[in-house]
């Protein structure tokens, strides 16, 4: 297996959609994305001038095996990446591919003309992703809460 870590290209979106479908179909997420839904989600996330996408690409299988979609956002006098999607194909999990992709993203963002200082994301409490992120230096902010509501029409 030969893995290439790089910026996401527009032509990667179909492979990213398949990877997202497979990653989130598995436990503990158990989400049933259609290809159209997954493609639309990634395409929307990557449509802004502040969007950044990164992939781990298996050059032998010619598929995306992990992806990170995020946005570079300014807050006061610094920038941070808000991660909207991060996933690893189930056949490639527990092989350090996700950790290596995060390392690559950190290195690449450190090279930007306006340095990116932080990573922010949401995930579900109690899921394995929490331990993964903590292992990779991303911690729970105890003084922050996530809130959501419905838009009734």
pLDDT per residue as tens digits for the range 19-51: 999 999 988 899 999 999 999 999 999 999 999
Residue 153 has pLDDT above 90, yes or no: no
What pLDDT is stored for residue 88 in this prediction? 97
Amino acid 113: pLDDT: 82
- Residue 141 placed within a domain: no
Is 74 a member of any domain? Answer: yes
Residue tagged 């398949």 (tokens)? 18
What is the reported pTM? Answer: 0.93
Pairing of strands 116-121, 3-7: unpaired
Sequence-ordered alpha helix ranges (H) in 26-127: 35-45, 97-110
Residue 148 lies in a domain: no
Rounded Cα gap, residues 127 and 63, in angstroms: 26
Domain assignment of residue 68, yes or no: yes
Q: Assess if residue 153 is contained within a domain.
A: no
**CATH code of the domain covering residue 37:** 3.40.630.30
Is the predicted pLDDT of residue 62 greater than 90, yes or no? yes
Calculate the average pLDDT of the chain: 95
Q: Is residue 145 part of a domain?
A: no
Give the pLDDT confidence score for residue 115 in this predicted structure.
85
63 bridge partner residues? 58
CA distances from 124 to 109, 138, 153 (A): 25, 14, 27
- Count: domains in the chain: 1
In a domain, 99, yes or no: yes
Judged against a pLDDT cut of 90, whether residue 61 lies above it is answered with yes
Model confidence at 67: pLDDT above 90:
yes
- pLDDT tens-digit profile of 103-142? 999 999 999 888 899 999 999 999 999 999 999 999 999 9
Range of the domain at 116: 3-135
Query: What pLDDT, on a 0 to 100 scale, did the predictor assign at position 83?
Result: 98
């Amino acid at each position: 297996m030969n893995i290439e870590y790089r910026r996401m290209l527009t032509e990667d979106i179909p492979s990213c959609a398949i990877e997202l479908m497979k990653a989130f179909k598995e436990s503990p997420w158990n989400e049933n994305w259609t290809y159209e839904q997954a493609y639309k989600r990634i395409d929307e996330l990557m449509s802004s001038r502040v969007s950044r996408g990164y992939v781990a690409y298996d050059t032998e299988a010619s598929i995306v095996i992990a992806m990170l979609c995020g946005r570079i956002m300014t807050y006061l006098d610094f920038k941070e990446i808000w991660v909207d999607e991060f996933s690893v194909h189930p056949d490639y999990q527990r092989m350090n591919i996700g950790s290596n992709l995060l390392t690559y993203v950190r290195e690449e963002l450190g090279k930007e003309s306006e340095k990116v200082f932080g990573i922010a994301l949401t995930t579900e409490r109690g899921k394995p992703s929490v331990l993964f992120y903590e292992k990779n230096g991303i911690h729970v902010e105890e003084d922050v809460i996530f809130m959501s509501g419905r838009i009734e029409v």
